[in-house]
Amino acid sequence: MEKIVLDTSFLLAVFQLKLDIFSEIARLCDFPYQLYVLDRSLEELEKLIKTSPLPQKKAAIFAQKIIASGKIQVMQTNETRYVDDILADKIECIIATIDGGLKRRIKAKGGRVITVRQKKYLIFM
């Protein structure tokens, strides 16, 4: 079973672009998979809720609700590095992100990336 790890930027984009990630990932992936989010991403969402302007705060709250739905598991890292650094090293997983720099880092290491195309649907890079 493949592990698909959702980046914080990806979770925020779901709200902002009104994407149904569950149906889009199911459409894209013709193999068994499980969705994950890093424990450090949960910390990032909490920080966004406390410090961001209202639109980003709403997106972060929505992301928390998606995670709480039970369809996404939390992956424990026990690391203090930045989330992007942790994700860039997880080339055994598929990383879902809209962060251009992170996409380049993952691809350079031979990893697989899911991203948003034309603000409407998901693709593999």
The yes-or-no verdict on residue 91 having pLDDT over 90 is no
Which pLDDT score, from 0 to 100, does residue 32 have? Answer: 97
Is 10:94 a contact under the CB 8 Å cutoff?
no
The whole-chain average pLDDT of the chain stands at: 94
pTM listed for this prediction:
0.94
Number of domains in the chain: 1
Which pLDDT score, from 0 to 100, does residue 69 have? Answer: 92
Which pLDDT score, from 0 to 100, does residue 78 have? Answer: 86
Question: What share of residues in the chain are helix, strand, coil (percent, to 5)?
Answer: 50, 20, 25
Backbone dihedral angles phi then psi of residue 53, each to the nearest 5 degrees? -65, 165
The predicted model gives 84-93 an average pLDDT of 93
The whole domain housing 108 covers 2-124
Residue 13: CB atoms within 10 A of its CB come to: 22
Q: At 101, which CATH number?
A: 3.40.50.1010
Which pLDDT score, from 0 to 100, does residue 80 have? Answer: 86
